[in-house]
Structure formats: structure tokens, C-alpha cells
Amino acid sequence: MPSRGPIPRLAVLVAAAGVLVFAVTLQAADRGLVNTSASPHVVLRSVDLDDARWTDGFWAQRFELCRRVMVPNMKRVMELPGNAATLRNFRIAAGLEKGTFSGTNWGDGDCYKWLEAVACVYAVTRDEKLDRTMDELIAVIAKAQEPDGYIATQIQLTDKQRWQDLRHHELYNMGHLMTAACVHHRATGKDSFLRVARKLGDYLYTVFQPRPRKLAYFGFNPSNIMGAAELYRTTGDRRYLELARTFVDMRGSASGGSDQNQARVPLRRETEAVGHAVTAAYLWCGAADVYAETGDKALRGALERLWSDVTGRKMYLTGAIGALHHGESIRHDSVHEAFGRAYELPSRTAYNETCANIANAMWSWRMLQISGEARYADVTERVLYNSMLSGVGIDGTDFFYTNPLRRCGPDVPLLRNDTPARWPDTTKRPAPRCFCCPPNVLRTIAGLHGWAYGVSDRAVWVHLCGGSVLRTELPDGTAVGLEQQTDYPWDGRIRITVKQAPDEPMAVMLRIPGWAEGAAIQVNGQPAGIPAKPGTYASVRRKWSPGDVIELDLPMNARLVEAHPLVEQLRNQVAVMRGPIVYCLESPDLPEGVKVGQVTIPAGAEFSPHHEKDLLGGVTVLRGKARLAEDGNWNGRLYRARGSEAGKTIDVTLVPYYAWANRGPSEMTVWMPVLQP
């Protein structure tokens, strides 16, 4: 096992069950969720999966919900006959149970995502029951794997042939296997799942590395790029990195590819975000991983170009991506679940699949590792608090697939995959035939402590706010410990206590969110004399002693937000944000008989925060005055002569967008018409 980078590795031979097994003794900072500890082309290095943990507050509550409710409940659902993702397929493929394949082509991948989440929870809790659960399932998966390394139950248990149709999602499932196996190895130190992943990786190398013509543009949803890159990071075997790069290079390498899965134009030459939003963002995540290991400048250029296109022209206020259920790309390919054209951001018909939103956060987090630039962390945070969390209900048991920004009453029919409420499983309509989003939300929350901090030479970086402790090492091996106390995102005061620090000066890099105009930093009760410019990391550099306290104060005034004038659907409308939270107006908060669409916001309206600990799991609501447009009597007309301006003033309460649809069927809107003075 060659040493890569500054972290020394020890290779040891372990005798297990009479078989010699090659194992790696993992060193500190070698076990990140996405392990950039030895990547040559990153600014930031990951911390280990168990270096950071939430202690209290917003994310601690959600991690606890994961541990207590989401993990066991989702396993129960994946044992339901008829659910779109089912663990039973593995048992049948392993010969342990009789039966036929059921579910979707991508169900295996959804099971692996669940397993990845369990490993993330285990890394923090060391709950032996979870360890046993993982062992049992991994043993079944290992048994289901073919002798040559292939594993995909939708092929093995049916009359479909290998590598015939990219919609069979073989590479998607295999990618999630490789990622989950790496995370399992980092969380447990065990090799059981990693052996399955290596065998699979070795098989994929023989199939794809020769670049056979007939597989030139094979692959739909490319989680396999991230999976292969992570397998390289775990094992040091460069063949897996070559494989990851090949998967990137294949896209757009043959004529006849479509914009739907980013296969018309090679990524390095692409200028526009097109096609399926999940497949796009997974491709870009994988390409960012490949860049981090290879320094391929053309790839990075493309990623920066596409990130600017997405976040500057095609992303919702909630950080969601994928405006279209169905439509046409700029090059006239038929696309679905896809990006719209520039500034095409309808609220009611937005697709915004939860998986796409999460992928956007994952991509921006990877761009942050590469660059150290706070604009990427801003997008990550925007997704996490809004369009990732909207995908799951307050009690952690039901899920949205699409995440529109407006929901009208029952008179306006829903589009395909829209549902009137979140759903617990996919066995009954109106749930969609797809269980991809629930375990994606689960693994994101379960591993989020692994996104919160990073390190670089003589610096520790604070990306996410939340009550937490960090005990890690800088790249030179010196120990560092921080404790973060805050009631963020409800309160803007963040208190960081240094618990352990090197003898030499060290920078604490504090993220100042782009919206935080007027942020201030104090050290040990005195102004730090350091500018806290929004959209940057403020470098608080000094020689630290245990007990030193940094206080970051982020202003948390509610603010009205408007969209670029080219967003036709949002002309003369405003939304309300406070801190990172996007708010919405929902019908349960309106007087009887008043419709969401009647409420107009006076220009310059002010909203005041009120924390309601018993509402929607504990939220800060915003209260203010609005004006009520008369409902009018339209008498079947579509148009009429403009009437008088909005009528009486009413009190309105806004709730966080992520918490909508938890109080029965409702109407909801993020954007509201603004009443000009």
C-alpha cells in the first residue's frame, strides 16, 4: 500500500478465519465521509467521520431523529412487499430466500444508501446493534455477488442481460455500493463490505477501462464516479481512479448521446447545465472528486462554469434544482426531471427532486474542498436548511419526491410524481414508484457532522453552525479541539471555545454567510479587529490557549428577497428569509376563507421572529402585516379590467419552508406579490 500524501499509513496483515486479509490501519484524518485527506488538489482536508459530532440544537435533534426513528423505520419499509426498494432482492439473489425480483431498477442503490447512513450513525454512537445489523446485511450482499464481482439484483433475478440498457441503472447501484462500503470501512474498520466493493471495482475495471465502443455512452445516473473515486481513496489502488476518470470521459464521447443524461457534449466542453438534474449533479460531484485527485484543469474549468450557470440562472431560492417535469433542452433533446432554460423557474410546477437538491449540496461541498471559497458553502447551507429538509416530514417518517415552491388548492391538479402530502413508503398510491429520495435524506442528515468542519495547514475551518464538538488533527498531526455552542439557525450568536490547540499560531476560519451583512467577531470578549465580510471565511489567527472563546454574531433580521428580473414567473414578487431559512405562507396560518394567493406583501414590510417550541418540531416563525387582495368575482372570466388595489390589512405568520405540509393538506407559497407604494 503506497503512502499518498502527508498521512502515514500502516499496512498490516490480519489473519481472519484462516484467510490472509490485507488491511489498512486507518490513521486519524483518513476516515472522512468524503476523504480528501490525501488529495493533492484540494485546499481543505476532511476530518474523520467521528471527529465532529452534534451536541445540541438543530442538527443534533435531527441526527437523533435519524438514529431513533429514521434508521429503524426505513429498514421496516424496505422489508415491505411491494416497496420500490427492498432488501429481499438481495436475499433471493444470495439463494437464501425463494421469490422473484420486485421494485425498481435502482432499488439496490437505495438499500446501499440506507446502509451508508447506518454506518454514519454508528461512527458516532458505536451502537453494537447497528454494527450487527450491518454485518448481517453485508453478509447477504456478499453472497448475492456473482463470482466475477458483478452485482445488480434487477439483472441477476430477471431475464435482462448485463449492460444492455442504461436505464437498468447497474452503474448507479454499483456506485452506491462502493461509496457505502468505503463509509462502512471508515466507520467500523472492518473489511467485509470493502472486499465486496473491491471485487466489484476490479470487475468494472475489466469491463469499462478498455473503453469498448458499445459501452461508449453507457450509464445514466453516475454515482459510480464518486464510488470509484472513494474506493481509490480508501485502498490507494489507482485503477479505481482511472475507472472514475473513464466514467467521466465516457459522457459525450460518442455521437447519439442526449442532453437528458449529459451525454451529448463532453463535460470538459459543456457550457450549460442541461438534462436530468440528479444525473447532472452526480456527474459533477464525481468530476470534482476526479479533479481533487488529478488536477485536471479542463474539468475544473467546466465545473466552475456549470456551477455559475446553475447558481446564477437555474437554481431556486431554496437551493433546489430541476425546474421541469418534462421539457426540451437548449439543443432540443426531450428531457425530464430536468433543468429548465436560464431563468426558467416556475414555482408551482417545479420538479426539484429531493435527490437533485441533495446532489447540489454535495457538489457545492466538493467545490468548497477544492477551492476554500465560501460561496460554495453558502449554496450547501441553502440546500440543507431548505430543499433537503423539505424532503422529510417533521416526524422523520414521510417524504416528498418533488419540492415545488407553491401548492395551490385541489382545483389545480398535480403533476406526475407530485403528491398532496409526504408519503411513508411506495406501496400505496399516491406515493411515486420511487424510493430514491428517502434514504438520500437519511444519509445526508446521518453524515452531516462530517460536512461541518475541515482543516488545512495550520487552520481549522468552520463550515456549518450547530452545537457540536470537534476533536481532530491538523494535516501536520497536531491535535485541535473546538466546542461550538449556538441556537443557530434560530439565533445568530455562535460561541466557539478552543479546547485544544497547537503551540504555534493557528487560524480558525469562520464562514461568514453571504447574507450576513454586519456580522461581528470577538475573541475573549474583545472585538477581534478582523473584517467579517459576507461570503468569505474570516481568518482569526493567533496562538490559542484552551479556554479561549470566539464569538461570531450574525445579524438575523428577516429580509425581503427578490429574483432577477429575467425570472418571468417571479416578477413583482418577494420571498422572506431570515438567516439561511426560506419562509413560506401556508394556509393553516391564515384566517378561515382566506386563500394563500390573496395575500400581498407591502414593499418594505417588516417581520418579527417568534420562537414557537411546540410548533412543527420547534421553529421560529415570522409575524407581520400583509394586505388582502379581494378574491373578486371572476364569473368564469380569465381577464378583466384592473380593479382597485389590495384591501384590508391582516396579520400573517410565515413558517420555514422546510416545515410545510406537516399539518394536513394545505396551500403554500414561498413567493408572494409585492404591493408597490
Give the footprint of Zn ion on this chain (CB under 5 A).
Answer: 353, 355, 436-437
**Alpha helical stretches, state H, 190-272:** 192-208, 223-235, 238-250
Residue 262 and residue 274 in contact, taking contact as beta carbons nearer than 8 Å: yes
Q: Per-residue b/e over 379-389, b at no fewer than 16 CB within 10 Å?
A: bbbbbbbbbbb
Least Å distance, CB 567 to Zn ion, is 25
Output 235 or 387, the one with its CB closest to Zn ion.
387
How far, in Å, CA of 617 to CA of 392, rounded?
13
229 vs 437, which CB is nearer to Zn ion?
Answer: 437
Query: Which positions ≥6 away from 337 have C-beta within 8 Å?
Result: 276, 277, 278, 322, 324, 325, 351, 353, 356, 417
Q: How far is the CB of 434 from Zn ion (least distance, A)?
A: 6
Calpha distance 58→674 (Å, rounded): 32
Q: Which three cell numbers stand for residue 46?
A: 476532511
Report, in Å, the least distance between residue 339 CB and Zn ion.
16
CB of 222 to Zn ion, least distance (A): 15
439 or 580, CB closer to Zn ion?
Answer: 439
- State the angle between helix axes of 277-294 and 223-235 in degrees (0 to 180), rounded to the nearest 10: 30
d(CA 14, CA 364): 39
Nearer CB in complex with Zn ion: 171/550: 171
Task: Select 354 or 598, whichever has its Cβ closest to Zn ion.
Answer: 354
Could you tell me the three cell numbers for 397? Answer: 417518517
Q: How far apart are CA 103 and CA 545, in angstroms?
A: 56
* Minimum distance from residue 436 beta carbon to Zn ion (Å): 3
- Which residues, in sequence order, are bridge partners of residue 403? none
Minimum distance between the CB of residue 358 and Zn ion, rounded to whole angstroms?
8
Nearer to Zn ion, 175 or 372 (CB): 175
The span from the CA of 233 to the CA of 212, in Å, is 26
Pick 361 or 574: Cβ nearer Zn ion: 361
What is the nearest approach in angstroms of Zn ion to the Cβ of residue 312?
A: 25
CB 258 → Zn ion: shortest distance, Å?
Answer: 20
Q: In the structure grid, which three cell numbers stand for residue 158, read together? A: 430477471
Minimal CB distance residue for Zn ion: 355
CB of 659 to Zn ion, least distance (A): 20
Q: How close are the terminal C-alpha atoms of the chain, in Å?
A: 70
Torsion of CA 163, 166, 172, 173, to 10 degrees: -50
The CA distance from 275 to 107, in Å, is 22
Residues 386, 391: Cα–Cα separation, whole Å: 9
- Give the C-alpha separation, 291 to 293, whole Å: 5
Considering the complex, state which of residue 120 and residue 437 has its C-beta at the smaller distance from Zn ion: 437
Strand partners, 650: 626
Give the residue among 246, 342, 262, 260 at the shortest CA–CA distance from 303. Answer: 262
Q: Strand runs (DSSP E) across 554-637, as ranges?
A: 558-561, 573-578, 581-586, 599-602, 607-612, 619-628
| Measured distance CA(432)–CA(426) in Å, rounded | 6
Q: Quote the least distance from Cβ 427 to Zn ion, whole Å.
A: 17
CB of 223 vs Zn ion, minimal distance in Å = 12
C-alpha dihedral, 104 to 108 to 109 to 114, nearest 10°? 110
Question: Which residue, 324 or 355, has its beta carbon nearer to Zn ion?
Answer: 355
Smallest gap from residue 373 Cβ to Zn ion (A): 28
